[in-house]
Amino acid sequence: MSLIFRVQHQAEIDSTNDALKARAHLGAEEGIVLRADVQTAGKGRRGRGWVSEAGNLYMSILLRPQKSPADAATLGFVAAIALGRLLRAVLSVPVHHKWPNDVLVDGCKISGILLESGGITGGKVDWLVLGIGVNLRHHPAQTLYPTTDLLAAGGPSLTPDQALDLLLAEFRPLYEAWLSGGFANLRADWLAHCHGLGDPIVARLEREEISGRFEDIDGDGTLLLRTDDGILKRIAAGDIFMAPRPAA
């Protein structure tokens, strides 16, 4: 059966992800989509804050896909593919996927994707909450990466509701493909627009930095980095930065 989205709206909330996590714990059915005009405690990956001015898109989806924790963790890649398709349809500048789950417009970050899960029953996660923020009209000035928004990148003046409708339309078939065949069904789509593939990068991990060449991602989304001495490193979580190219 196809997933039915039930969109709900709040003018202000602390975090759309936190609100849906609370509902998930109480047994809410999947398909709830919560959009807020403003978040007072928005958050990104690895505990970072997420600036949430009115005019941008802030939304979360509650899902119960009956996937293992490892498989469930790849849903962020699916969300990035959906958002990338939406943005390529309305922009004339390059749109790329940046590992693990960012989307870049002309080299600048335009979105945040946060995937959270809870409970394991029979080896499957009980629920997932997928949070997505998209800069439609505003973007922060001082961040870890350069940022942009849809208007600044030359895109149309979409309202959050319009952007949400477009995003859900892209996400639904991708989610169903992921349900039936996992990330293997979509890995080639993600790699087709991958930022930095084959290039020298620096991977910033919790306790170290590793330099090498971005060789590939495997079936569970792990980044494969080939160091200068030929060792293949598997990186499951971290931040990557483009390394300076050596002079010719």
Domains and CATH numbers, the chain: 6-191 (3.30.930.10), 200-242 (2.30.30.100)
Q: What is the mean pLDDT of the chain?
A: 92
pLDDT in the model for residue 44: 52
Q: From CA 159, how far away is CA 156, in angstroms rounded? A: 9
10-57 confidence digits (pLDDT tens): 999 999 999 999 999 999 999 999 999 999 876 655 455 555 688 999
Q: Show the beta-strand stretches assigned E in the chain.
A: 6-13, 32-39, 57-63, 95-98, 102-105, 108-109, 111-121, 124-134, 200-204, 209-217, 223-226, 232-235, 239-242
pLDDT in the model for residue 207: 86
67-112 confidence digits (pLDDT tens): 999 999 999 999 999 999 999 999 999 999 999 999 999 999 999 9
Pick the range with the lowest mean pLDDT from 39-43, 57-61, 138-142, 195-199.
Answer: 39-43
**Residues 6 or more apart whose Cβ sits within 8 Å of residue 248:** none
Specify whether the CB–CB gap between 159 and 34 falls below 8 A: no
State the average pLDDT over residues 161-175: 98
pLDDT in the model for residue 247: 43
CA distances from 190 to 11, 18, 109, 122, 164 (A): 33, 28, 16, 30, 21
Q: From CA 181, how far away is CA 220, in angstroms rounded? A: 12
Using the predicted structure, report yes or no on whether residue 143 has a pLDDT greater than 80.
no
CA distances from 130 to 59, 76, 206, 210 (A): 8, 8, 23, 29
pLDDT in the model for residue 216: 96
pLDDT in the model for residue 16: 95
Specify whether the CB–CB gap between 33 and 59 falls below 8 A: yes
pLDDT in the model for residue 2: 73
Q: From CA 90, how far away is CA 168, in angstroms rounded? A: 15
Nearest to 63 by CA among 125, 132, 133: 125
pLDDT in the model for residue 248: 41
pLDDT in the model for residue 244: 63
pLDDT in the model for residue 243: 73
State the average pLDDT over residues 207-216: 94
Name the helix (H) or strand (E) containing 72: helix 69-72
Specify whether the CB–CB gap between 59 and 32 falls below 8 A: no
State the average pLDDT over residues 157-173: 98
Using the predicted structure, report yes or no on whether residue 174 has a pLDDT greater than 60.
yes
Question: Is residue 186 helix, strand or coil?
Answer: coil
pTM for the model = 0.92
Using the predicted structure, report yes or no on whether residue 121 has a pLDDT greater than 90.
yes
Question: Is residue 201 helix, strand or coil?
Answer: strand
- Whether a cis peptide bond, with omega within 30° of 0, leads into 160 is no
Using the predicted structure, report yes or no on whether residue 198 has a pLDDT greater than 80.
yes
